[in-house]
Structure 1
Amino acid sequence: MGTRLKVLVWAAAAFAIAALCCTGPAAAVGVPVLRVCADPDNMPFSNDKGEGFENKLAELIADRLGRELVYTWFPENTGYVPNTTGSNACDLVTGYAQGTGLIEDTNPYYFASYVLITRGEDTDLEGVTSLADPRLKSKRIGLVARTPPASILAMHGLIADAKPFDDRSRESPADVAREMIAAIESGELDAGLLWGPIGGYYASQSSVPLTVAPLVRESVGPATFYGITLGVRPNEPQFKHQVNKVLAENRTEITAILQDYDVPVLDREGQLAAAVGTPSAGR
């Protein structure tokens, strides 16, 4: 996720906002609503035009549950976790890291990691899948400040030649990703580190071939590999069960949606999931 790391931002604060502004079409008379908290401007995850993969996932879940989809727009750069209780509450919070404990979560609907992005023709770094690889010594590596890969680079003595991109700047995650990838394309950087869904999405738009390697083999430092879930209200086991059932029964279609956005989708063991084709609900 670049400057606003998708897997961690929802869990960045220990308190929530009590009331949220709700937008979206009104539900048809007699049709129950599925209210989803999502960012209105955070591609490839979501936007207020419904173009992100989390928009597509929300549409799928609403359809399978027979509910009318209504959004509560919640910009992630506020740094708060959306409140899932009270007036105008969310039924679901998109893209929530498993096990953080701030919101009840569903079963993971995909697994993702940070990624190392290099130029495809850079044979010096071909096959690098860990930041412990000695071939990264003296390489110019782009990183987002205060993220797990930044800590791991420091542990391996690779910070001196790294170029930080500040995740607290005024730039959007998309701007940071595009800037870092442009520097890799030009040769200003030998490699870059981004959250997988953002890295895969923007690397696929590059004018030169890039390699995107998931980082799942780190032996030191913080985790780089996460199960991604949906946040739900506590004490509603029946609803949570219904959502988990939708996720389980539509796993192939969900994986296809993610892959349509060039997300490096991993299994529980950190291996890349097999390609399953482009879904009808894709971009």
Structure 2
Amino acid sequence: MNGLCAMVAAVALCASSLSAFAQAEPPERTALRVCQDPNNLPFSSTDGTGIENRIAEVFGKALGLPVTYYSFPQRIAFIRNTLRFKLPGQDYPCDIVMGVPVGFDQVSVTKPYYRSSYAMVFRSGIGLDQVTSSEEFLRLDKSRLDTLRIGVYDRSPASAWLNKHGLVDRGVPYKTLNADPAQYPGEIIERDLAAGKIDVAIVWGPIAGYFAKRVKSTPLKVVMLKSEPGVQFDYQMAMGVRYGEPEWKRQVESLIQSRQAEIRAILDEYGVPLVDDASVAQKQKQ
């Protein structure tokens, strides 16, 4: 799994503080310079086909600026090697990360622009077609549950959920941070689930929705998972800029607000399962 999902996992596991960097005044921008992972669909790609690429193009058009990318594998130290990377006498190579979870402390996080949740993906016709929720999945006969191979990324909310419900033995672990630059987060679905190497995959919602649509060899079903005591599945996603650049942050937040309809259309096109913030707030009050 590539770095965006690792960021989500990091927010789920811990929070820490980071001092702000000071900036005298915002620079004049000649381009919208985006920090991206070059192989991280459905989020970003060097061919510009990711969700975040598409949203960046919307922002670039609104600003009247060309969009440029600085690519670096979104593994360990992504922010340090992109948004914060600066050689003496040179400028930063990029100014914005298009997708970070709210609560991610390595950047100055904007207001959120969508909320999604982890989701369960499985092939139709293997005896799970009646499952529409995690509750229904857990109510399956134990004899059926004991036959399932459930692919999850390690140290993720999905692995915590398996542990909570006594299903660790059914888990097939995948590395959250894989050193192979050719690896991408949807492999668990596009390669292993589609081929029958696992029966169920539990992954971050945008990955589930995008790759379930992309696989043509077999019908796949996506079931969004709801957070429960001890396991948070849903997260708000925002954008990240450098600390100490409040004017730039406000400008980005203004774009998020004014381009909501276009952002939502892109998310829908990519099959991103969206969580209603109002329903989450109501659940938290209960």
Whether these two folds match at TM > 0.5 is yes
Change (3 A) 1:152 1:212: same
Which of 195, 199, 202 is 1:193 aligned to?
Answer: 202
Change (3 A) 1:79 1:51: same
Q: What is the SS of the residue equivalent to 1:150?
A: helix
Worse-superposed segment, 211-220 or 85-94: 85-94
Q: Structure 1 counterpart of 2:133, which letter? A: T
Q: What are the residue-to-residue correspondences of 1:32-111 with 2, within 5 Å?
A: 32-81=30-79, 82-84=82-84, 86=86, 87-111=91-115
Change (3 A) 1:185 1:90: closer
The residue number in structure 2 matching 1:133 is 138
Change (3 A) 1:218 1:190: farther
Worse-superposed segment, 167-176 or 47-56: 167-176
Identity of aligned residues (%): 31
Worse-superposed segment, 153-162 or 228-237: 228-237
TM-fit CA distance, 1:241: 1.8
Q: What are the residue-to-residue correspondences of 1:98-247 with 2, within 5 Å?
A: 98-124=102-128, 126-130=130-134, 133-135=138-140, 137-138=145-146, 139-170=148-179, 177-206=186-215, 207-221=217-231, 223-247=232-256
Q: What is the SS of the residue equivalent to 2:277?
A: coil
Cα-to-partner distance string for 1:15-39 (whole Å, 9 max, x where unaligned): 99xxxxxxxxxxxxx9722211111
TM-fit CA distance, 1:220: 2.5
Return the alpha-carbon distance in structure 1 between the equivalents of residues 210 and 32 of structure 2: 27
The residue number in structure 1 matching 2:23 is none
Q: Is the 8 A contact 1:110 1:267 kept in 2?
A: no
TM-fit CA distance, 1:101: 2.0
Return the alpha-carbon distance in structure 2 between the equivalents of residues 5 and 78 of structure 1: 8
Return the alpha-carbon distance in structure 1 between the equivalents of residues 182 and 166 of structure 2: 26
Q: Structure 2 counterpart of 1:60, which letter? A: V
Return the alpha-carbon distance in structure 2 between the equivalents of residues 185 and 10 of structure 1: 25
Q: Is the 8 A contact 1:72 1:90 kept in 2?
A: yes
TM-fit CA distance, 1:187: 4.5
Q: Is the 8 A contact 1:34 1:68 kept in 2?
A: yes
Q: What is the SS of the residue equivalent to 1:204?
A: helix
TM-fit CA distance, 1:189: 3.1
Q: Is the 8 A contact 1:6 1:195 kept in 2?
A: no
Return the alpha-carbon distance in structure 2 between the equivalents of residues 208 and 54 of structure 1: 27
Q: Structure 2 counterpart of 1:205, which letter? A: R
Cα-to-partner distance string for 1:105-136 (whole Å, 9 max, x where unaligned): 11111111111012233454523422672327
Worse-superposed segment, 163-172 or 205-214: 163-172
Change (3 A) 1:88 1:170: closer
Worse-superposed segment, 166-175 or 88-97: 166-175
Q: Is the 8 A contact 1:181 1:192 kept in 2?
A: no
For structure 2, which runs of at least 5 residues remain unmatched after alignment? 19-27, 281-286
Change (3 A) 1:6 1:269: farther
TM-score, structure 1 as length reference: 0.78
Return the alpha-carbon distance in structure 2 between the equivalents of residues 79 and 155 of structure 1: 30
CA RMSD of aligned residues (A): 3.0
Q: Is the 8 A contact 1:15 1:80 kept in 2?
A: no
Worse-superposed segment, 131-140 or 68-77: 131-140
Return the alpha-carbon distance in structure 1 between the equivalents of residues 275 and 202 of structure 2: 17
TM-fit CA distance, 1:11: 8.2
Return the alpha-carbon distance in structure 2 between the equivalents of residues 32 and 176 of structure 1: 33
TM-score, structure 2 as length reference: 0.77
Change (3 A) 1:226 1:173: farther
Change (3 A) 1:242 1:101: same
Q: What is the SS of the residue equivalent to 1:142?
A: strand
For structure 1, which runs of at least 5 residues remain unmatched after alignment? 17-29, 272-283
